[in-house]
C-alpha cells in the first residue's frame, strides 16, 4: 500500500558516502527526532533530475532549514558511487544523498515505477515529503517522471 500522510516510514537502510567510503544509514538515523525534507528522483544524471529537481532542492535548502527543517535529503535507486559523483558534479553541498541501490525503500513505500522500457529498471517515482520524527506530514508525488510541478524544493518550501 502506498505511503500516505500520517504514516510512519518503514525501516530501511540506505548507503551514504563518508570519508572512509560507503556506509549504511538507517531510516532511524535519518529521521528519528528530526524534521526532514525528503526528495526522490528517478535517477542521477537524468535530464529532469539534473536540470530541474536537484537545483530546486539545492536553491531552497537554506530557506527550508530556516523554517525548522533539520536536514534536506535526496534519494534515488542508484548506487552510492553514482550518487556521490552526481553530488560532486552538481555542487549540491546543501543536500545529503541517500542511495537506495536496490530500490528497497522505494518499494517499501510503494512509490516505484517500471522504467524497463527505457533500460532503467525499477525506479523511484519523483516526490517530495516532509517527515517529522519518522512520520509523513506532507507528500507530493509527480504524476509523470519527467515533471517537477509539485515535488520541487520551491513547492515543498511553500508548504512549510
pLDDT 10s digits, 45-103: 988 888 889 999 999 999 999 999 999 999 999 999 999 999 999 999 999 999 999 99
Q: Do residues 123 and 103 touch, judged by C-beta distance below 8 A?
A: yes
Q: Give pairs for 14-22: CB < 8 Å, separation 24+.
A: 14/75, 14/98, 14/99, 14/100, 14/105, 15/79, 15/80, 15/98, 15/99, 15/101, 16/80, 16/96, 16/97, 16/98, 16/99, 17/80, 17/81, 17/83, 17/84, 17/87, 17/97, 22/80, 22/81, 22/99
35: left (phi over 0), alpha (psi -120 to 50) or beta: beta
C-alpha 105/C-alpha 108 separation (Å) is 5
Q: What is the pLDDT of residues 98-123, one digit of tens each?
A: 999 999 999 999 999 888 888 778 99
Active site residue 96: no
* CATH (residue range 13-158): 3.40.30.10
The residue from 49, 54, 136, 156 that is catalytic is 49
Domain ranges of the chain: 13-158
* pLDDT score of 130 more than 90: yes
Amino acid at each position: 500500500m502506498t505511503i500516505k500522510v500520517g504514516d510512519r516510514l518503514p525501516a530501511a537502510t540506505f548507503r551514504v558516502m563518508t570519508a572512509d567510503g560507503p556506509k549504511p544509514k538507517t531510516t532511524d538515523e535519518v529521521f528519528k527526532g528530526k524534521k526532514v525534507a525528503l526528495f526522490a528522483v528517478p535517477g542521477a544524471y537524468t535530464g529532469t533530475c539534473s536540470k530541474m529537481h536537484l537545483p530546486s532542492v539545492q536553491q531552497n535548502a537554506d530557506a527550508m532549514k530556516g523554517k525548522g527543517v533539520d536536514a534536506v535529503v535526496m534519494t534515488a535507486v542508484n548506487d552510492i558511487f553514482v550518487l556521490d559523483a552526481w553530488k560532486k558534479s552538481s555542487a549540491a553541498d546543501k543536500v545529503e544523498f541517500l542511495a537506495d541501490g536496490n530500490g528497497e525503500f522505494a518499494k517499501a513505500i510503494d512509490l516505484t515505477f517500471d522504467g524497463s522500457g527505457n533500460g532503467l529498471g525499477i525506479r523511484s517515482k519523483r516526490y517530495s515529503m516532509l517527515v517529522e520524527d519518522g512520520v509523513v506530514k506532507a507528500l507530493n508525488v509527480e504524476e509523470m517522471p519527467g515533471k517537477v510541478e509539485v515535488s520541487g524544493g520551491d513547492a515543498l518550501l511553500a508548504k512549510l
